[in-house]
Amino acid sequence: MSRETRGLFEMVPPTFYAPEMRGVHAIYRFEIDDGEKWTMRVDDGTVSVAEATPDDEPPSCTIGGSDADVAAVLRGEQNMVTALLQGRISVLGDLAVGQRLVGALFIFGIGEDRSPAP
């Protein structure tokens, strides 16, 4: 079980507004090496997070790796591009969409209060 990653995703509301992600329309999938998967949908700043299901739409960008490495990226302790270059995580799909997430990860407010989606 992905304890670190699960804990981070469970800290945020299931749906919230992140003004830094205005203009982004994407589906991010986080695939942890132990098989756990999470989906983050971004629709013009409205962000929803849930465990992935087989019925989910295909992601725009998939980020995979160990629980510790994905959690470090989500917490902003590890730069996603550096982790990718080091082979610690994988990024599949639209890299430009992935890069948009990199710039906003620390702003997503993991562990902070975030206003609910409008």
Q: Which CATH number do you get for residue 82?
A: 3.30.1050.10
- How many Cβ atoms sit within 10 Å of the Cβ of residue 110? 17
Kindly state whether residue 81 falls inside one of the protein's structural domains.
yes
**pTM, whole model, 2 decimals?**
0.85
Residue 15 three-state SS = strand
| Total structural domains within the chain | 1
Domain range enclosing 91: 3-107
Kindly state whether residue 29 falls inside one of the protein's structural domains.
yes
Kindly state whether residue 50 falls inside one of the protein's structural domains.
yes
Kindly state whether residue 54 falls inside one of the protein's structural domains.
yes
Kindly state whether residue 114 falls inside one of the protein's structural domains.
no
pLDDT tens, residue order, the chain (118 aa):
568 889 888 888 888 888 888 899 999 999 999 999 999 999 998 989 999 999 999 999 999 999 999 988 888 888 888 999 999 999 999 988 888 886 566 545 554 444 555 5
Kindly state whether residue 16 falls inside one of the protein's structural domains.
yes
Kindly state whether residue 39 falls inside one of the protein's structural domains.
yes
